[in-house]
Amino acid sequence: MLVALSTLAYGVQPIFGKAAYAAGVTPLALLAWRYLIALVCLELFDRSPRPALATRLRLWAIGSVFAVNSIAYFMALEALPASVNALLLYSYPVIVALLAALAGIEPLKWRSLIAALAAFAGCALTAGGLRLSAGLPARGVAWALAAAAIYASFVVLSSRFGGGVPARVLALHLIQVSLLLSAACALLGPGLPVPRDPRAILSIAAMAVVSTVASMTWFLAGMAIVGPSRASVLSSLEVLWTLGLAFVLLGERLSAVQWAGAALILGAVAFQNLSALRRAFGRRPLPD
């Protein structure tokens, strides 16, 4: 339930991001203001004792991976439709399974290898449905695939090295370093102007509260219970939520080729996690 709630909160993020871009906000400035608001919220509501310095340094290191993922995600969102960006990003549950096996967290099954091939084929079809000759969408596809790989690394690292840390404390440290890195990149690059358009202010504030504080805390708490692979496959529900919102609110449409890619990505994630899905719904697991 925690992971499912996090997908609903996180799935509206690209809608808020597109609204902020339409109001003239740049990706790095959006991230910096988003994390500033999120940090204030967490500092106000979380009064729990801070962990030892060695633990904090470890959490900040994990947060730096999350920050780079955020930058890649929003650079991709600037260039791609929200629906396509979500589809490319959600090849990450397959990558999580492969990385978790390499890290010794969960064993690698033959099903994961087949799912990996299907997911990457789905990404190729989804990206192939775009007109890559213009240059900008191709850059967006590269950012989106990078975001998927980096986010998969973040999920595995936070599961491996963030264990035993309360979800709100872990989220606080992730947001602290994300604010530092995004603000520094913005100041060194396009600048960090204060948003003045009410649409931008509302979009960034909603993203900070709903798609950062709530979604991150719920996801980390849920992953601590069910593990990284199950959390990843359950969070893939976000794709369907984002596609629906992008269709209704942004008027985005997918081509037949992109729908085929979407089916492959979602099918790969489900196939890879058949046993986990059956356990989640209380049924007997399938043999691996």
Q: What is the pLDDT of residues 39-96, one digit of tens each?
A: 999 888 777 778 888 889 999 999 999 999 999 999 999 888 888 888 788 777 778 7
Q: What is the pLDDT of residues 238-251, one digit of tens each?
A: 777 887 888 888 88
> Hunting for tokens 């596609």 — which residue is that?
243
pLDDT of residue 71: 92
Helix (H, G, I), strand (E, B) or coil at 32: helix
pLDDT of residue 272: 67
Q: Determine contact, residues 62/155, Cβ cutoff 8 Å.
A: no
pLDDT of residue 282: 59
Instruction: Give the whole-angstrom CA distance, residue 107 versus residue 67.
Output: 28
Q: How many domains does the chain have?
A: 1
Q: Determine contact, residues 199/142, Cβ cutoff 8 Å.
A: no
Instruction: Give the whole-angstrom CA distance, residue 208 versus residue 53.
Output: 26
User: Where does the chain have alpha helices with state H?
Assistant: 2-11, 13-22, 27-45, 53-79, 82-89, 92-102, 110-128, 136-161, 167-188, 198-208, 215-226, 228-235, 237-245, 256-272, 274-280
pLDDT of residue 132: 59
151: CB partners within 8 A, 6+ apart: 66, 69, 73, 89, 92
Low-confidence ranges of the chain (pLDDT < 50): 285-286
**240 lies in a domain?**
yes
Q: Determine contact, residues 208/34, Cβ cutoff 8 Å.
A: yes
Entry pTM: 0.78
Give the residue numbers spanning the domain of 226. 2-280
**Length of the chain in residues, anyone?**
288
**285 lies in a domain?**
no
**287 lies in a domain?**
no
> Hunting for tokens 């299907």 — which residue is that?
118
C-alpha of 74 from chain center: 10
Instruction: Give the whole-angstrom CA distance, residue 120 versus residue 109.
Output: 17
Q: Determine contact, residues 269/111, Cβ cutoff 8 Å.
A: no
**288 lies in a domain?**
no
pLDDT of residue 204: 95
Question: Each residue of 223-259: b (16+ CB within 10 Å) or e?
Answer: bbebbbbbbbbbbbbbbebbbebbeeebebebeeebb
